[in-house]
Amino acid sequence: MSQTVSAVTTPVAGIVATGQPLTSDFDARWAAWQERGRLHDRGFRRRLWIAVPTVVILAATAYTFLSR
């Protein structure tokens, strides 16, 4: 039993490529998107900077007390 899949000609998620040059509105939204990503990355790194040493100290302390 074999099935064939025909090519789908409908646009993905309703987006149609028009071939138009990118507008300044797109550039502004893209810059805002990148800035949000940069801020999220900075916050995540800051949380890791605090969480990793804390977990290491707690693990070492637990290992010390439980291994006796």
pLDDT one-digit tens code per residue, 13-48: 655 566 666 678 898 999 999 999 999 999 999 999
> What pLDDT, on a 0 to 100 scale, did the predictor assign at position 24?
81
Query: What is the domain partition of the chain in residue ranges?
Result: 23-66
Q: Return the CA Rg of the chain.
A: 25
Q: Could you give the CA distance from residue 37 to residue 9 in angstroms, rounded to a whole number? A: 33
Work out the number of other CB atoms within 10 angstroms of the CB of residue 7: 4
From residue 22, give the alpha-carbon distance in Å to each of 14, 15, 32.
18, 14, 16
What is the model's pTM?
Answer: 0.52
